[in-house]
Amino acid sequence: MTILITGGAGFIGSNLAEKLLRANQTVIAVDNLITGSFENIRDLLAKYPNFKFFKLDVTSQEFSAGFQPGKIKLDRIYHLACPTGVLNCLRLSEEMIDTCSFGSKRVLSLARDHHCPIVVTSTAEVYGDPEIFPQVESYNGNVSTTGERSSYEEGKRFSEAMVAMFVRKYKVKAKIARVFNAYGPRMSAHDMRVHAQFINRALKNQPLSVFGSGRQTRTFCYITDTLDGLIKIMDKGKQGEIYNLGSNQPTTINELAKTVIKLANSKSKIKHRPHKITDHKHRLPAIKKLKALGWQRRVELAQGTLKMIAYVKSSN
Ligand SMILES: NC(=O)c1ccc[n+]([C@@H]2O[C@H](COP(=O)([O-])OP(=O)(O)OC[C@H]3O[C@@H](n4cnc5c(N)ncnc54)[C@H](O)[C@@H]3O)[C@@H](O)[C@H]2O)c1
């Protein structure tokens, strides 16, 4: 089976590539490296002859032209390409909008032309600052169309609308994974995503910056569970359906900071700072639909955090 992963040099994409390569699949990763890194896939390229990487932007004509059915046969597509990181909502807002619109259209068109199933990764951010708990997939969210985070939040909502159009008009076998906070090895330390930032700073005994009171909650899902979810959605998910993918164990950012400090044996202190960008108070996915596909979270927060600490230590 030949599987295309857009965003394949990113955190989730490179881990997904490794899992699929270990299962003897042929994997093609496409990435423009805007928030990902070639380092994430360097070892995989050396180890697996059935792994190919193309530095391409999914918004480009070159990308569409390179993967036409006459040139290659694709059996599955995981569409993960998108600039990420909350603070990048300001710095990379145009790139987010372009990738979620022009880019998603090119990727979904390939799925249509190859008659192959596709999973499109959306985000918990489509719920904005939610007013109902837990967030069920049918909840339409509470999102500002023009707020500081709107390029990402509305970009992803538009990608979802595009999936719905391709399903209705072209009968594409597309499914949507709404990913809540995932964490684990290969997560960039540069984009301020909280887990990576805390671990990197704790290992250097530097203060951990907690924005606001730290009482805001998130749920954290270890990468191996996230990958299981994506594959379950690909293999068993229904055409046109949306699946939340994440842990349903809420943790405050203060608790996460304390957990990281303890598990890393760190002398770091917690420093509260004003928010740099509008923050959302709480997040909690309803995961009944994903569980009905046979998915179960296996890695607890402390266990996953310890694994990630070990990874960051070994790669420093
Ligand atoms: N990690 C999480 O907690 C999380 C949560 C919600 C949603 N998601 C979604 O999952 C997907 C993967 O996220 P991630 O955490 O691995 O982030 P990441 O930034 O590590 O990976 C995304 C990859 O997409 C690439 N990319 C961006 N724009 C591109 C373009 N136009 N053409 C080609 N490549 C492009 C980036 O360079 C990067 O390697 C994203 O779509 C993200 O929105 C992730």
- This prediction has a pTM of 0.97
121 Cβ below 6 A of ligand 1: yes
11 Cβ below 6 A of ligand 1: yes
- 34-91 residue pLDDT tens: 999 999 999 999 999 999 999 999 999 999 999 999 999 999 999 999 999 888 999 9
- 283-307 residue pLDDT tens: 999 999 999 999 999 999 999 999 9
Residue position matching structure tokens 């032209």: 65
Task: Single out the residue of 194, 203, 208 nearest to residue 266, CA to CA.
Answer: 203
The answer to whether residues 127 and 139 touch, using CB atoms and an 8 Å cutoff, is yes
Based on the residue annotation, tell me whether 152 is a catalytic residue of this protein.
yes
39 φ/ψ angles, rounded to the nearest 5 degrees: -60, -30
pLDDT-derived band at 191, boundaries 50, 70, 90? low
Query: H or E element: which one contains 11?
Result: helix 11-22
Domains and CATH numbers, the chain: 2-180+223-246+285-297 (3.40.50.720)
Residue position matching structure tokens 């540069």: 190
Distance of CA 44 to the CA centre of its chain: 20
CA–centroid distance, 9 to ligand 1, in Å, is 9
